[in-house]
Structure 1
């Protein structure tokens, strides 16, 4: 962390911030695809399709080709779902970070910089349905700079900001496949509140859920989370 500086976002960081967000999202595609393959519905569809075709066609090639196409279609649906979320995020706040975070009350956006390069990001703003909370958003650390304590430092930055603004807690939402993020938040004292489905139709079919975490600031001291 000696050569890492955490500072507020500047407009010249825009492209680096968007690149980091997109890279971080796409990292979850392989684990999300594995989640799809583990679903009983997926396995049933693949098995029924394979057996039906092998009985009707008396050939191994057609069932294998059909299963391959079904797998490719499933992965493409995941890509479509992820791209939809990425585009919605760019439109909602990442295309205009200054307007969304820096010019609004009790909101902020920080970057972690190493040798002039943005290697991490985090943001917060008032939670929509929880007036006593700020919501932690856009946590991401470049893969080449993980394991250096950057994510923990970014978490502490949000906690300090939240205390200074007089809020009691921080909430955040992460996906069920982001296991490394879950471990980080739990290490930092966040408690799992609930798990709930993503509203998109395909996400519901594959049981792709989001997890809500909450950190009550009176309960923990993040300075002790080394």
Structure 2
């Protein structure tokens, strides 16, 4: 088990917190691309492209090359989607963490330290879509420190904060390719309440979906 402590965010944590977030999100790019390659719609599209190119060029090698280039382009699109999300978030709630989380009522931001180094983070803010619920956000743990109980401890910290501040539930969203995160939340007691595909055209083509989880506190 890792030797760590959880504390509230301080201004000195700003840059390392942003780095942990950005690196953590970009780690999902390979898994997201593999998921895309498994989609039947993509298989059908590639077969149609291959057939059309072969019929027009009469060159099987040229057709295969064109499909390979199409896949390479798709990988670049995947990179762009994740990178755009990172950039948007860094300009949104992570631009001024104190203002967004530490100075707002019912919100908070925590980091986990190990050997005096910040290695993980999590945030909480009142949910806009679920009245009376707290939303867990920005959960991320450095790769070398995973599997040591830090993520579960951060989740418990959010639950304790929600309970102490009178929230009736905690909600969160995660992507369909964040398999370890899903297992973690379910092991703690979160229940999946819905799943939806993002409205963007590219997301619809690759079936990129978001899962919403909810943890309800027992009623007295």
Q: TM-score, normalised to structure 1's length?
A: 0.93
Structure 2 residue 191 is matched with structure 1 residue 191: yes
Tell me if structure 1 keeps the 8 A contact 2:2–2:148: no
CA distance in 2, matches of 1:200, 1:97: 28
- Distance, in Å, in 2 between the alignment partners of 1:42 and 1:124 is 37
* Range with bigger deviation, 180-189 or 199-208: 199-208
State the distance in 2 between where 1:127 and 1:77 align.
Answer: 30
Deviations 1:179-223, CA, capped at 9 Å, x for gaps:
11000000000000000111222112211010000001227xxxx
C-alpha root-mean-square deviation of aligned residues, in Å? 1.3
Q: Which residue of 1 aligns with 2:155?
A: 155
CA contact (8 A) 1:159 1:217 kept: no
The equivalent residue for 2:175 is: 175
Matches of residues 1-226 of structure 1 in structure 2 within 5 Å? Answer: 1=1, 3-218=3-218
Q: Following the alignment from structure 1 to structure 2, what is the Cα–Cα distance between the partners of residues 10 and 127?
A: 23
Extract structure 1 runs of 4+ deviating beyond 3 A: none
Q: CA deviation at 1:53?
A: 2.2
Q: Which runs of 5+ in 1 are unaligned?
A: 220-226
Question: Residue deviations 1:102-127, cap 9 Å, x none?
Answer: 00000000000111211110010100
Measure the CA separation in 1 of the matches of 2:141 and 2:2.
Answer: 16
TM-score (norm 2): 0.95
Q: Secondary structure at the match of 1:3?
A: coil
User: What is the count of residue pairs matched by the alignment?
Assistant: 219
Partners in 2 of 1:52 and 1:129 — Cα distance?
A: 46
Greater Cα offset, 2-11 or 152-161 = 2-11
Q: What is the DSSP-based 3-state SS (H/G/I as helix, E as strand, rest coil) of the residue aligned with 1:122?
A: strand
